[in-house]
Structure 1
Amino acid sequence: MDLVSGIVVYVILWWWILFMVLPVGVRRETEVVPGNDVGAPQKTMLPAKLVATTAIAAVVWVIVNQIVRSDLISFRDMIKDWM
């Protein structure tokens, strides 16, 4: 995987994992103030979730990179079989 492909894969993984991590640990507000959404969280814990997302995405990216480099799953062979 070249540099640009690696960066693109990492960014896609990062956003995908962020959307999976966002709902973790969210508690609803018990006392709703008029004008606020009923489902609004008490604390978002966003900085911790961003750090966790970055770490998890890095680990998943290393795994994906190793799979691509080792030709364990050869995408070129898959395309040849389809054509």
Structure 2
Amino acid sequence: MSLTGGIVLYASLWFLTLFVVMPIGQRSQADAGEIVRGTHAGAPAGVPWRRKLVWTTLITSLTWAVIAFIIFGEIITRSDISHLDQLIR
């Protein structure tokens, strides 16, 4: 894995993780009891962005480290992946 590949992998994992973490623990405006005029009652209320971004970064860093260990440790190589179809046959 090159430096560019590592950065692209980390960025992709970060955004994927962010979209998974965003709805966790989310409260709607109806749940909070403060509905802003002109918005839907199901709209989010008071998103704790800092906490969600920290959790996203921690989870992504751990996931990226495991994937990098697998790639650099040659636990799974390109030849293993190219011969993967032979397992099915």
Q: Which category of TM-score, normalised to the shorter sequence, fits these structures?
A: 0.7 to 0.9
C-alpha change, 1:34 and 1:69, in structure 2 (3 Å) is same
Give the number of equivalent residue pairs.
81
Q: Aligned-pair distance for 1:41?
A: 1.4
Whichever residue aligns with residue 17 of structure 1, its letter is T
The match for 1:73 is 76
Could you tell me which amino acid in structure 1 is paired with residue 13 of structure 2?
L
The unaligned stretches of length 5 or more in structure 1 are none
- In the superposition, the TM-score normalised over structure 1's length comes to 0.85
Matched residues, percent identical? 36
Cα RMSD (Å):
1.5
Matches within 5 A, 1:36-75: 36-75=39-78
Normalised by the length of structure 2, the TM-score is 0.80
Query: How far did 1:34 drift?
Result: 3.1
TM-aligned CA distance change 1:76 to 1:8, over 3 Å: farther
* Corresponding residue of 1:19: 19
Task: Show the counterpart of 2:4.
Answer: 4
